[in-house]
Structure 1
Amino acid sequence: MKLYKYLFLIMLATSFVACDKEEDLGESNIIIDDTKNEIDQWIYDHFTKPYNVEIKYEWDDTELENSKVLTPPSLEKIIPFLEVLLEAWVEPYAEFGGEDFVKKMIPKQIILVGSQNMNTNGTMVQGTAEGGRKVVLYQINEFTYSNWSFLKRLMHIMHHEFGHILHQDVLYPEEFKQVTPGGYTAAWMNVSEEDALDEGFISPYSKNIIDDDWVEIIAYMLTNSKLEYDTHIQRGSYQGQAILRVKEEMVVNYYQNVWDIDMYALQERIHEVFEMVRLREDN
């Protein structure tokens, strides 16, 4: 038995010595591709590195609805669109809310889809937000600087979805639910803009559910100057205007009290950015 123990110890010591020696194991079969193309590098420099945001533009059907016919974005659209997203969304929020606010609240994954996302009832999904962590934006292939109304609509979608992220973190005031409690309908697509305004809703879609009512106020304020926003509201009835001013005041107070952001200053800054963006020329 003692002999066996000695032999075992000798073998164990030998194995340790063998492990300490450097041996040529040949070239690795694992290929690590850390190269980035121009788009990847731009995304890394402007979104991933400063804000820890992943932006996916290459096709990945595991991230999207398999029941829909969708297409990836055209490569030439990606950086120009993301530049506007950065300038008219991320940077103004960082300026008025602070870098820490943006780093905390910004969705950690943004997925770009080139095509429209149509529903069977004829409506169109323009963007989705999931749990405050993921945003999907559609119709990127239609982006151009010269198509001003469409550009504003894309940014409207982003501000709408980010509004959802904010209220999912800190809910809007309970009093907001009592302003127009009976005005919501799943058939919002059958409501005209004029009728919505007359009833105290900023858009037909704001009649969908209370959450959408809240974020539509945010999106309309942040994609229009104060003059444009006021002009839009003034198209409604006297009663509708009064209701919308109540909702606006709640949004402004929420931004100030919860996030320490001056909503009107943020609105003005984003409008200034829009004015500079609209002067750019398409390639």
Structure 2
Amino acid sequence: MKTQNIIKQLLFLSLGLIILLGCDREETLQPTPIFENGEPESTDELDQFLKIEFRDIYGCVIHYKFVDKFIDPTKSAVPPRVEVVRPIAELIKEAWIKPYNKASNQGDEFLKTYFPAEIVILGSPIFNNDNTITLGVADSGVRVTLTQANNYAPGNTGWILQTFRTLHHEFAHIVDQNFKFDIEAFFKISEDSYTSPGSWTQEDEESAIIRGMVTPYATSAPSEDFAEIMARIITTDPAVFESTYITPADCSVAGAPANCGEINKGKAKIKQKYDVVVKYMKEQVGIDLFVLRDEFLNNIN
């Protein structure tokens, strides 16, 4: 199946799946020491690969063992199968590192500065005690958690899109933390349209668009709105993004939805946010989102 078709299908996931797409942000995390109690460095082939490709270049430690210590004790998750760790690490290079290196006006120096110090790979989602799951966590610019690694399979474009949409969302928070996106001005575009705490799960794609946001989760807070639109720009074919979120519907044709006008007003707000985010990334962060998007989509094919 063509990547564009897969992306388009993912845009219309049922609410039952969308509810699962939450993310957590911790504000006071301190990085875990790489080696505790003077333990010798592993000579395992996989560990050496991760050291050479991530720690030595980007100062990033990838954790895949003893993962319980990296999640809240009130929550649970399972570790990844060892055989999926290296392919996923290779995907991180192709679908995250290489696109940013090409899109940044600093080349690879950008990620050498801002890449998270730790990536935790979990085999499952994080199971919360309220019967929901968490698919990604960004911890104060220090750690990003990747979940559902055990669902990885070569050529599984759906898994790749879902996983890296989450990772790009979480990295958007890290960008925000370092470059101080003007969230107050962004908030004013949809000022009265954000949902009350916890109620975003009652939204669907259409109601989110009417509110001027690209996903139900984006309605939960301006910071999540920013991260969601940035992740969607990066991981969505531009023609699909345009038709789904920006191009106004013709309300005069037979069969146009009764709320066509509301949908178009919401799309106009999304276009405003799209322009703001693209400009911010280009002028303040030094990242061309269009180059980043094209490189990402090309590399996952």
Same fold (TM over 0.5): yes
Distance 1:62 1:35, change over 3 A: closer
Greater relative contact order structure (CA < 8 Å, 6+ sep): 2
> Hey, what's the Cα distance between the residues in 2 that align with 1:86 and 1:164?
19
Check if 1:176 corresponds to 2:183. no
Match of residue 137, structure 1, among 146, 150, 153: 146
Secondary structure, counterpart of 2:138 in structure 1: strand
Q: How does 1:61-140 map to 2 (within 5 A)?
A: 61-97=68-104, 98-140=107-149
**Could you list the runs of 5+ residues in structure 2 that have no partner in the other structure?**
1-36, 250-259
AA aligned to 1:246 is: Q
The structure where helix makes up a greater share of residues is: 1
Determine the C-alpha separation between the residues in 2 that align with 1:133 and 1:143: 25
* Structure 2 equivalent of residue 263 of structure 1: 289
Q: How many residues of Structure 1 are paired with residues of Structure 2 in the alignment?
A: 246
Partner-residue secondary structure (3-state), 1:126: strand
Residues 122, 230 of structure 1: CA spacing in aligned structure 2 closer, same or farther, 3 A cutoff?
Answer: farther
Alpha-carbon distance, 1:31 to partner: 9.3
2:269 aligns with 243
**Runs ≥4 in structure 1, deviation > 4 angstroms?**
none
Q: Deviations over 1:45-83 (max 9, x none)?
A: 211111110110001433211122311100011111111
Distance 2:128 2:41 in 1: 39
Distance in 2 separating the partners of 1:32 and 1:177: 48
8 Å contact from structure 1 (residues 176, 247) kept in 2? yes
SS at match of 1:69: coil
Q: What's the counterpart of residue 22 of structure 1?
A: none
Helix, strand or coil at the partner of 2:300:
helix
- Work out whether 1:253 is the aligned partner of 2:279: yes
Structure 1: which 5+ runs fail to align? Answer: 1-29, 276-283
Shift of the alpha carbon at 1:33?
3.7
Q: Is the 8 A contact 1:144 1:151 kept in 2?
A: no
Q: What residue identity is the alignment partner of 2:193?
A: G
Farther off after superposition, 126-135 or 60-69: 60-69
Q: Distance in 1 between matches of 2:147 and 2:281?
A: 27
Could you say which structure has the larger radius of gyration? 1
Between stretches 225-234 and 78-87, larger displacement belongs to: 225-234
Q: Which residue of 2 aligns with 1:189?
A: 201
Identity of aligned pairs, percent?
Answer: 28
Aligned to 1:209: 221
Deviation at 1:35, TM superposition (A): 4.1
